[in-house]
Structure 1
Amino acid sequence: MLKSSRKPDGEVRVHFGLKYPRRLSLYDRPPTEDITLEEFESCAIDRLHVLCEIESCYARNRPFEELKDITKSQCDKHVPLDHNTATTKDRDSQRRKDVTGHFVLRLAFCRSEELRRRFVKAETTLFRVRYLESSHSERADFHQSVDFDWTPVEESEKEMYKSQLKAAGPDADEKEQYFKVKWTNVPDLVAKRKVFLKDGWAYVPSKEQPSIVFQEFQTRLEQALEMTAKALPRMDEDTRLEPILANLSQGFIAGLGSEWSTNENTGEDIRAEMVDELAQKHFPMCMRNLHENLTRNHHLKHFGRLQYGLFLKVLGVSIDEALIFWRKSFSGHTDDQFNKHYKYNIRHQYGLEGRRANYTAKSCQQILMNDQPGASDSHGCPYRHFSPDNLRTALLTTYSSQGLTEADLPEIMNTVRAEAYHVACTRVYEITHARDNVRKGDGIGSGETVTHPNQYAAASRALERASTGGGKVESDGDIVMN
């Protein structure tokens, strides 16, 4: 089916049967197609990757230009949304995924006022970035498709309030077009005194038109989330969706990590005797803490062994080397005790016992949310589970040789108090790798934050290989030789 319409500038716009004809959307209509459970989850996860990076940018007080670049990079990677001119791309599939992911995350983040607030902020920022990078024709087409409840100001009325309009916007051109909207629709412009107010109306110059659009997006989303929250109890009986939504709602706490189910593919096996040196140079705080407790006490409790053992497995330690490492580390036990109480569990982690599953290492989100440590445990996330004083001491003790100083602690502790634990870990990575030309804001590559301990270790090792081998590190951690 061929549909055509006329744009304001007189050009003809043609949509070749697109179900989603516009790139920009207020998400006022939920998708109605059938969808598999796998697609339901994957669309939401891909979108959540973008929203988590946006929230991390706010936690790190990044300038908007940096935030915009990072958001665009994440969108290209996870939820690409090509412009209308990209006629050779499957724009409908892209937009269907975008809409589906948005509505699934509505279900996940409508559960509390705090989650709704954070979701609205991240989604509004994502919309703002997309809007600002859209072409003039795309914006005009979008404006025509939505009732923004604004009224163009006639020339006679404009002339009547000429002096007032000039006072509100001294830089405005005489030919500037104005719109009348209810002043409650543009509170940000009112607060900045950028509009003229008369009888409950705000006279908004066309250059400030985006503020109306952004405020409308935010207001509608807030209202939609409240309605979704009221309807959510009806879904409690669906046991398939509840675990997925509960897991997605935790995404803002620690970002959204990848599985990291394979080795780094560096062409080398990690031998047992290499672990200690690797820990000193490349491990994140959670794994350094486990390694040091194991070295000091020659023992780790079950969840500590599980967290550290799976990390080492994904790092590249084979089962044979793992048995050597753990046997040496448990030096206070006899061979019979070790074989009887620990060997089976180690083999189980590698899928050689029990149901022979290929277990993956725990992500930051899993470490933060599951199996909370007790007073005598060593597992967990130090940024969340240590007391502030203990965390400061541990950071200096662990990383002072890699460049972390007392002056770095206030910034790190501020992010910890804001519960942005993965952001704190990322900042430590940047500080301890400054000698490798990692700057503040670089993260582990392309501005990304740490969401998995193995991700941290892989990025750190990639930097070392690049410095010794003459290559450069790409954003995904791969090495490209010069």
Structure 2
Amino acid sequence: MFKSSHLPLEHADKKSWASGGASSSSPMEYPTPLNFYEKPPMFDVKLEQFEQSALDRLRILAEIESCSARGRPWDETKRIVSTLCQKHLRLSSNTAGGDLGIMDTQKEDERRKDHLSHFVLRLAFCRTEDLRQRFITAESTLFRCRFEEATPAERTLLYESRDFKWVKVDDVEKKSLEANLRATLTGFKNIAEQNDAWDRDAFYKVQWSQVPQLVEHRRVFLKKGWAYVPARQQSAIVFREFEVHLRQALNMTNRAMPQMDEDTRLTPIIDHLSQGFLAGVASDWQYEEGDDTTKLRAEQVDEYAKKHWPLCMRSIHDQLKKDHHVKHYGRLYYTLFLKGMKLDINEAIAFWKKSFQGGKVTEDKFNKEYRYNIRHTYGQEGKRANYQAKTCVALLTGDAEYGCPYRFLAPESLQTRLQISYADQGLQSSDIHEILNNKKGSHFNIACTRVFEITHAKYVKKGEGLGQSETVTHPNLYAERSIEFETKKEGPTKVTSKQEDDDLEGIIMQVD
């Protein structure tokens, strides 16, 4: 794997890799959009581009994992991935825009970004076997999507770029094994179509260990350790080789990580990226001021919690209602969440003051010890920062007691919590098994999304998530979509720029 010296990172305004690719008169550095990522990128890049390119790729990989966890069919997965790639990680075909001119520079820049983003994420996902396997699975799916969209000429360029260790079966051997090889040509409507395929298609033989899936499903003929693969199944060899190569590369990267840890610029970015995979990447949701008709009032919070809150916020609310108190992180997370739901500062003070009634917090103690914290959270005290509600990533990696229940609760406790919270919204005992399976597979955001689908079955079908296949990545996004469906507002919630997940530890006074 590369050291920082191989990939200089700087804040200075040097020529950007994204705008300073190959000249139109020089041969392309990347002759095909299909890349096995064998060599690390060897060009200068700004630190911001280093991180942003990886985040763009991570959004795609997270959605691939989401599609798998939801059991989406391949055609649907491919469509979703293709759409996301057009938005975040476009790779133009060699035939797009002609062979010369500015389009060649654009293609080169796209492929440089793709190259860089892959290697950055290798750093983030090489440290544990679980992360390595998830990365391999998602990257292999992305590669397969791109392979199927590639032109025959682009595939040929890939075949010629490396040794796949296959041997083309000559006509004499093909004829001598005709009966056995014909048996691998399946899926045709009639014998005429099969005869046409037999005359037209070539066969390749590889060591059987290169195509274990084809062997398992009896799609190849085996002889003396060789697997005879029809040309129509040739892609299976390529996909398997991609996975094997990537696994070896990740293991090598992991062994080199102690050297990378010395770079204080990169370590926080790498850690942030690996955490982002937990929740399908941080949401773009951001708090916006609403008009008087959309603002939440203190007396509405209890009703809204029962109908619209995700389990993380519902749990804090229920504990507050029961005990008339929650600890510091519970108050912090819930205050920011309610702020994001347009509960203004005066209503927030009224809500917390009333919620503490019946407990040990007197009005005098509330005014002295809690009012300031609420005002600070709303940016009215201290440095007057506009703190944002916590994302799913923050709740997955933060305080366990008030963090994501799908991650931190034991299966039995999660089952009980779900039944208590959502039984009256359509959640059945038969639904629990699927949700617990998502938890077991570390697909915590998918588990939360599935609960949303079940409790909003009048508005979304299974697999549609929050609508248009969107996955839960933010508690406020969950709540806003729920409210929108109930009020039948048209169009998605307005989204603004990328949220900064502020760290309030040490800023706000901790009072338990």
TM tier, smaller: 0.7 to 0.9
Are 1:435 and 2:435 matched, yes or no? no
- The match for 1:461 among 473, 476, 483 is 483
Q: 1:147 aligns with which of 163, 167, 170?
A: 163
Deviation sequence 1:105-152 (CA, Å, 0-9, x none): 101111122221111111101111111122333323332333323232
**Match for 1:386 among 398, 409, 421?**
409
Structure 2 residue 36 is matched with structure 1 residue 26: yes
Q: TM-score, normalised by structure 2?
A: 0.83
Following the alignment from structure 1 to structure 2, what is the Cα–Cα distance between the partners of residues 216 and 224? 12
Could you tell me which runs of 5 or more consecutive residues in structure 1 were left unpaired when the two chains were aligned: 1-13, 374-378
Q: Which residue in 2 is equivalent to 1:239?
A: 264
Q: 1:151 to 1:178 in 2, by over 3 A?
A: same
Report the RMSD for the aligned CA atoms in angstroms. Answer: 2.4
**Mean Cα displacement is larger for which, 69-78 or 125-134?**
69-78
Q: Quick check: 263-272 or 69-78, which moved more?
A: 263-272
Structure 1 segment 51-450 matched on structure 2, within 5 A: 51-87=61-97, 90-169=106-185, 172=194, 173-175=197-199, 176-258=201-283, 260-263=285-288, 268-332=294-358, 333-373=361-401, 379-436=402-459, 438-450=460-472
Please list the CA deviations of residues 78-102 of structure 1 after superposition, one character each: whole Å capped at 9, or x if unmatched: 3222333332763333222221111
- Please give the alpha-carbon distance, in whole angstroms, between the structure 2 residues aligned to 1:328 and 1:188: 62
- Rounded Cα–Cα distance in structure 2 between residues aligned with 1:97 and 1:462: 37
Mapped to 2, the partners of 1:183 and 1:406 lie a distance apart of 45
Letter in 2 for 1:414: N
Distance 1:215 1:16 in 2: 33
Does structure 1 conserve the Cα–Cα contact (< 8 Å) formed by 2:333 and 2:389? yes
Q: Quick one: distance in 2 between partners of 1:384 and 1:226?
A: 27
1:419-457 deviations in Å (ceiling 9; x for gaps): 322111111000111112x00000113323212111211
TM-score in terms of structure 1 length:
0.88
Paired amino acid for 1:314: G
Q: Which moved more, 1:184-193 or 1:304-313?
A: 184-193
Q: Is the 8 A contact 1:153 1:179 kept in 2?
A: yes
C-alpha distance 234-315 of structure 1, shift in aligned 2 (>3 A)? same
**3-state SS of 2:452 partner:** helix
Q: 1:84 to 1:461 in 2, by over 3 A?
A: farther
SS in structure 2 of the partner of residue 174 of structure 1? helix
SS of 1:158's equivalent in the other structure is helix
Give the letter for the 2:166 counterpart. Answer: W
Write the distance in 2 (CA, Å) between the matches of 1:335 and 1:17: 75
CA deviations 1:403-425 (Å, max 9, x no partner) are 11222222222222333221111
* Cα distance change, pair 259–310 in 1 and its aligned pair in 2 (3 A): farther
Number of residue-to-residue matches in the alignment: 455
1:3 is matched with: none
The range that moved more, 90-99 or 36-45, is: 90-99
Q: Given the superposition, is the C-alpha separation of residues 229 and 127 from structure 1 closer, same or farther in structure 2, using an over 3 Å criterion?
A: same
SS in 1 for 2:205: strand
Return the offset for 1:190.
1.9
Offset at residue 324 of structure 1 (A): 2.3
CA contact (8 A) 1:263 1:315 kept: no
Is the 8 Å Cα contact of residues 339 and 378 (structure 2) preserved in structure 1? yes
Q: Which runs of 5+ in 2 are unaligned?
A: 1-23, 189-193, 497-512
Q: Which runs of 4+ in 1 moved over 4 A?
A: 14-17, 264-267, 474-478
Question: Are the counterparts in 2 of residues 272 and 325 from structure 1 also a CA contact under 8 Å?
Answer: yes
Are the structure 2 counterparts of residues 147 and 190 from structure 1 closer, same or farther at C-alpha, using a change threshold of 3 Å?
A: same
Task: Give, in angstroms, the shift of residue 476 of structure 1.
Answer: 7.6
For the residues of structure 1 that align with 2:341 and 2:153, how far apart are their CA atoms? Answer: 50
Q: For residue 198 of structure 2, give the secondary structure of its aligned residue in structure 1.
A: coil
Q: Percent identity?
A: 50
Alpha carbons of 1:93 and 1:313: their partners in 2 closer, same or farther (altered >3 Å)? farther
